[in-house]
């Protein structure tokens, strides 16, 4: 069976410049490539493609469907501290969950929600 080696999330954003600034300055992503209407970003194994869709209904208007990624990380505490320091809106504070993960979640300027989780030691 073929192996999936990474994942890329494609997101519609109303303001491409604002979203690019958020992901690069607040979440530490790097811009890998850009073309008219698109920016390609990465941080570690996570890749994003942000597409400029100024007329799209903002995802914040559909909160039941705004949770788009669960990213497995090392050192969730440091990442949490980094995001708080950078003024990122926290959706769920850092907490140890009964399913064996240390998690927190954030909200992007477009209302997308991302959960970050680190496996707890057994």
pLDDT tens for 81-103 read: 999 999 999 999 999 999 999 99
Q: Rounded to an integer, what is the distance from CA 92 to the centroid of its chain?
A: 14
For the beta carbon of residue 118, count every other beta carbon within 10 angstroms: 22
Q: pLDDT averaged over the chain? A: 93
Considering the entire predicted model, what is its pTM? Answer: 0.89
pLDDT along the chain (122 residues), means of 10: 87 95 97 97 95 88 78 95 97 97 94 93 87
Kindly state which CATH superfamily the domain 7-55+66-119 is placed in: 2,3-Dihydroxybiphenyl 1,2-Dioxygenase, domain 1 (3.10.180.10)
In whole angstroms, what is the distance from residue 62 CA to residue 3 CA? 33
């Amino acid at each position: 069976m073929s192996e999936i080696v990474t994942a890329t999330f494609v997101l519609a954003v109303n303001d491409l410049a604002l979203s690019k600034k958020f992901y690069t300055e607040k979440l530490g992503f790097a811009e890998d490539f850009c073309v008219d209407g698109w920016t390609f970003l990465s941080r570690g194994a996570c890749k994003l493609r942000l597409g400029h869709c100024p007329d799209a209904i903002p995802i914040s208007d559909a909160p039941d469907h705004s949770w788009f990624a669960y990213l497995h990380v090392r050192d969730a505490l440091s990442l949490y501290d980094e995001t708080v320091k950078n003024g990122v809106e926290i959706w769920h504070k850092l907490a140890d969950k009964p399913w064996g993960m240390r998690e927190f979640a954030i909200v992007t300027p477009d209302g997308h929600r991302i959960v970050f989780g680190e496996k707890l030691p057994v």
